[in-house]
Structure 1
Amino acid sequence: MSAELSAAPTGRRTPTVIRLLVLATFVVILNETIMINAIPRLMVDLNVTDRTAQWVSTAFMLTMASVIPITGWFLQRVTTRRAYALAMCVFLAGTALAAVAPSFEVLLAGRVVQACGTAVMMPLLMTTLMTVVPEHDRGRVMGNVTLAISVAPAMGPVISGLVLQLGSWRWLFVFVLPIAAGVTWFGLRNLENIGEPQTGSVDWLSVVLSALGFGGLVFGLSRFGDGSITTPVVIVVAGVVLIAAFALRQLRLQRTGSPLLDLRVLLSSTYAKALVLMAVAFLAMLGSMILLPLYLQNLRGLSPLQTGLLVMPGGLAMGLLGPTVGRLFDRFGGRVLVIPGSIGIAAALAGFTQITLSMPYWQLVALHVLLMISLAAAFTPVFTLGLGALPMHLYSHGSSMLATLQQVAAALGTALVVTIMSSRANTLERHGVDPLHANLTGMRLAFAVSAVLALLVIAMAILLPNRAESPVEAVVVEDELPELVKD
């Protein structure tokens, strides 16, 4: 999808193409978290172990990590309508397959197909937004995007809890299918192409290195907490080596103008800082999303539905605050939002280190709302500043790298908190501490580590500029690459 435009809208109204893509992205992201509460049902209905059943989430994450790096190249080679049609039709096919799956293997295949469609939607939305929305209005529109992509994960567990109260896990896919089909039909009727696609062949070696490298890294990280340390470490190291080979391959291909993922985006200091801030903040957020349900269900005895209802206010607050954060960014810039937001993230995570077996639920909800509001204050400006610092023709690659790093950060955050919690709990149990208090202490330590990591978010927030660097500066940075690569 080329960045060349004949005309760009200048009004305050959100372009129709963005509204349609936000709606579609909401549907596919809702699906990403809707299976969380279905694991026990899958174990009984499909006769699988808990570790096997977890693959409905692990495989989704692996596929996303493997496919997203390719989307930067893909979005420059196809029209907006074709990218949208392909992504949504693939998602629909995966949803239908999962709904009628006669076995766990078929269900897993359906989830993989779903993830392939989902992987395209977020970079497509971000790339289109940066292309069609004027710089002075990006914060407001990005705030509306934040509403969609943060409310959807919050609603997923709640909706799945309600559906599972009434019927089989298959109804989770039956519920999504007509909504996704309606969104697809409406989008294809009204969506307009943005720019013209470019020509260029795909480098299949890069595709293989990307899939094995990022997929292997996420898979290795997901294996931490299974008991053995050696195997996950070997897989992670292999993934890192393959990613390094992928990066070297891209540097060579940039000389010919056909990289799969253009690494010139990293030469923008603003984008690089935003990338680090987003990754660490996302890691901390995912860690809390894993720990809080474990605490509420395993230590406090709540049902999955009750847990979903308790964490829903935080997700809703994050989403509803998104448009306000966007308008404030357009008016005052990023620092007035990102610095207080990063401090709020660290404060909320520090608050979770004080959890007890009798802490009032309202305090837990308040801490979670503080965390989600702080993340909203950080994410919208960070996305806008980071992508806004790139030249227009690198938007698709910048969006793809951001989305890829989100998947890696999600896997790393999960692996980190689970490993820390389990290791500490097991050590205490060997010293005679009862399992309940041992797990509580392990969770406190995991939250403490996340709070320490949040200090890095504060450091990056201080280093970020108030506004994105000018297009002239971005082009100069981008033009310097050939000399840097040669050196």
Structure 2
Amino acid sequence: VVQAAGAGILMPLGSNVFMTLFPPHKRGAAMGMLGIAMILAPAVGPTITGYVIQNYDWHVMFYAMSFFGLVTLLLGTAWFRLTQPLSKPSFDALGVLFSTIGFGSLLYGFSEAGNDGWDSPIVISTIVIGLIGIAAFAMRELSMEDPMLNIRVLKVPEFSFTLFINVIVTMALFGGMLLLPIYLQSIRGFSPVDSGLLLLPGSLIMGITGPIAGRLFDRFGIRPLAIFGLTLMTYGTWELTQLNMDTSYYSIMGIYMLRSFGMAFIMMPIMTAGMNALPMKMIPHGNATQNTLRQVAGSIGTAILVTVMTRQTTAHLADDANQFTTLDPTLSQHLNDLGQQLGSSQAASTSWFTMLTKQATIQGITDAFWIATVLSALALILSFFLHGK
């Protein structure tokens, strides 16, 4: 919780600084450079983590994080300088309380929905509490002359529209980032290191392409970039609906690279386009709103896709088992015969059930990727209505 609180403060600060220092016609390139850090670090992290966990004690990972955190703190203290006057807003304790209860409960409820189901009393109660808390927070902020978070930024049409597309893309993105490692490690049996290495090239391409996409945004605007990027992302996500037990390692890598290449043209540019629609004094509020809603969207997307995967896996397992026994009424005898050859009928039954379970899980994962494909396609359709060249 402490680590997350620190990250929650730091993440919007980078965007705020870049938005303040650079004029609108140069923000695309600047945000693209910022995207290198925001994208490459999460890309390299899982690969390094997998290697550490596989070869060393897991505590080593946190020792390294503490070291880099300390170095960053020292560098920031030495180099950062105040570039604009402080506004010194008053601390709104009640607003902090409402937002903490609201967003915290909502995120927890959606994160648990994928595991416990949407009908779980804990899930339902925490989501309801979260919605009430967010409503109270919104009413509190709207009633203040100098709010902690000015949600009136949502009244700016272009900002709200780009934010809506961003939320949809994030739902598809975060859920997909969870499903693919499940397929690679639980179904295909790849090690954490191999899984990380498979995903690494796509993430590297996304990070390297970010500055290029940023410069193109400054020149051509958001509309052509969003259409191009979401077309590739939609196609790449659709390709993931075709996964099976025989899909090659390098085919999956290529699909993920294509999908990541497309995402590079939408993630940072769509954020920049929304922020450019706001006056300078509203940029910190818009940035905080974007980051908050993206986190909520990621939790919702993950919960939805995991729920689809779980329920569809159960349904496919029942159907596959029923079809298998229907097509082969002598299955029991076959298993006994195979068991005699293996030395145990239980071993044969276990092998048969494992095979069906893996196949059903793949079907559940691909069904969830269909939902992600639909979300991506919806964002693509909406991108045609963006303002820009």
TM-score, normalised with respect to structure 2: 0.88
Structure 2: which 5+ runs fail to align? 322-355
2:359 alignment partner in structure 1: 437
The separation in 2 between residues aligned to 1:137 and 1:152, in whole angstroms, is: 24
1:251 alignment partner in structure 2: 142
State the structure with bigger RCO (CA 8 A, min sep 6), 1 or 2: 2
Secondary structure, aligned partner of 2:244:
coil
Write the letter of the residue equivalent to 2:120.
Answer: T
The separation in 1 between residues aligned to 2:115 and 2:270, in whole angstroms, is: 34
Picking from 63, 69, 72, the partner of 1:183 is: 72
State the shift of 1:164 in Å.
2.1
> After TM superposition, what 4+ stretches of structure 1 lie above 4 angstroms from structure 2?
none
State the shift of 1:347 in Å.
1.1
Alignment of 1:93-172 (within 5 A): 112-172=1-61
Write the letter of the residue equivalent to 1:169.
Answer: W
Secondary structure, aligned partner of 2:91:
coil
- Aligned residue pairs total 353
1:12 alignment partner in structure 2: none
1:482 alignment partner in structure 2: none
Alignment of 1:33-72 (within 5 A): none
State the shift of 1:284 in Å.
0.8
After superposition, the C-alpha distances for 1:97-135 in whole angstroms (9 at most, x for unaligned) are xxxxxxxxxxxxxxx211111111111111111111122
After superposition, the C-alpha distances for 1:51-99 in whole angstroms (9 at most, x for unaligned) are xxxxxxxxxxxxxxxxxxxxxxxxxxxxxxxxxxxxxxxxxxxxxxxxx
Q: Is 2:203 the counterpart of 1:312?
A: no
1:211 alignment partner in structure 2: 100
The separation in 2 between residues aligned to 1:437 and 1:155, in whole angstroms, is: 31
State the shift of 1:225 in Å.
2.8
2:288 alignment partner in structure 1: 400
Picking from 215, 218, 223, the partner of 1:327 is: 215
Q: Is 2:120 the counterpart of 1:230?
A: yes
After superposition, the C-alpha distances for 1:363-418 in whole angstroms (9 at most, x for unaligned) are 21111111111111011221111111111111111111111112111211211111
The separation in 2 between residues aligned to 1:177 and 1:199, in whole angstroms, is: 31
> Is the Cα–Cα contact under 8 Å of residues 241 and 369 in structure 2 kept in the other structure?
yes
Q: Is 2:162 the counterpart of 1:274?
A: yes
Aligned residues: CA RMSD: 1.4
State the shift of 1:299 in Å.
0.8
1:100 alignment partner in structure 2: none
The separation in 2 between residues aligned to 1:120 and 1:443, in whole angstroms, is: 34
Secondary structure, aligned partner of 2:159:
helix
State the shift of 1:317 in Å.
0.5
The separation in 1 between residues aligned to 2:19 and 2:188, in whole angstroms, is: 44
2:384 alignment partner in structure 1: 462
1:261 alignment partner in structure 2: 149
The separation in 1 between residues aligned to 2:235 and 2:31, in whole angstroms, is: 25
Structure 1: which 5+ runs fail to align? 1-111, 468-487
After superposition, the C-alpha distances for 1:139-174 in whole angstroms (9 at most, x for unaligned) are 111111111111111111111122223321111011
> Is the Cα–Cα contact under 8 Å of residues 273 and 463 in structure 1 kept in the other structure?
no
The separation in 1 between residues aligned to 2:312 and 2:288, in whole angstroms, is: 36
> Is the Cα–Cα contact under 8 Å of residues 20 and 280 in structure 2 kept in the other structure?
yes
After superposition, the C-alpha distances for 1:315-341 in whole angstroms (9 at most, x for unaligned) are 101000011111111122211211111
Secondary structure, aligned partner of 1:448:
helix
After superposition, the C-alpha distances for 1:404-443 in whole angstroms (9 at most, x for unaligned) are 1121112112111110000011122233532111111100
Percent identity over paired residues: 35
> Is the Cα–Cα contact under 8 Å of residues 51 and 192 in structure 2 kept in the other structure?
no
After superposition, the C-alpha distances for 1:186-239 in whole angstroms (9 at most, x for unaligned) are 221111112111133222221111011111111000111323423212321221
Secondary structure, aligned partner of 1:195:
coil
> Is the Cα–Cα contact under 8 Å of residues 274 and 460 in structure 1 kept in the other structure?
no
Secondary structure, aligned partner of 1:224:
helix
The separation in 2 between residues aligned to 1:159 and 1:317, in whole angstroms, is: 18
Secondary structure, aligned partner of 2:245:
coil
